Structure 1
Amino acid sequence: MKMKLGDDLHEVKIIARRPHLVVSIDGRHHTIDDPGRECDGPGTLVLDGAAVSFARVSSGGSVLLHLDGRAIAVEVIDPLDEAEGSGHGRDEILAPMPGAVVQVHKAAGAAVTRGEAVLTIESMKLQTTLVAPRAGTLLAVLKGAGDTFEKDEVVARLAPVEGDQ
């Protein structure tokens, strides 16, 4: 998933949830103890072994963190919204990482709705469901169960929307 911290865009992945939360931010792994606090107000967590005090305020679709004397706006970017806003992303489903197809949920010619599962992939023992970025008809599913692919490879295409060519 992508997350905007202040003005910077970062790639964030959850690596493990137990016994501690381990997240990867732009490829660097961090261990977080006691991250379960989801309400607004002051709190403390342990980040990579160091206690960190913070304050959290939810505001619409983002969260404002006060950390080390700085206020940082954190916004999770919905991959469906991001795909819809980019040119080719509306018609193509890209692999977010290298891996293999575990399951094909929809075949070419099938009607799909925005957010509907098309393929389930696996990379480094993590399964991810790739979804349709918009409603439409699948023009092609380019990978089948067991097929491998590289990062950013097109794995499925939707038929172009009338007038978009």
Structure 2
Amino acid sequence: MAENWREDEEYVSYIEDLLATEEVQKLANYTQHMNSTRLEHSISVSYNSYKLAKQFHGDAKATARAGLLHDLFYYDWRTTKFDEGSHAYMHPRIAVKNAEKITELSDLERDIIVKHMWGATITPPKYKESYIVTMVDKYCAVKEAAEPWLEKINRYKLRLKKEWN
């Protein structure tokens, strides 16, 4: 997860109202990428995207808020199927509807949430902030899924090194 986000006063000021909601806190009850909760994943995407948006002179506040809300859905994506489309297509639309129940969304925030699965979906993002969240989401997903495997490999390498010494 994104370390030190709690120490970034500006970032926290942008998302603290959302983090205080039951709707966002419920994300802690869902596993996301095998080894993280959906809340941990969302904070990681939000904070890392916020930092990049600042670096690239984007709307850091909208990026932080939409990044936190991009996966605001309450089902196990591995088992739930939809007649209307794939999980990649459906969950951003569900997330937008859920987000609109707890906060007013700008056009930018709506685009970030709906388009964050671009690559797996057809319609490209409209704003640079949407591209940032899209790419950071992919990076965080791979990192979250791969970290335990990399730790296991590193432990194995250490064990072999000790055996050979």
TM-score, normalised by the number of residues in structure 2: 0.28
Structure richer in strand, relative to its length: 1
Q: TM-score, normalised by structure 1?
A: 0.28
Greater relative CO, 1 or 2 (CA 8 Å, sep 6+): 2
**Structure showing greater Rg:** 1
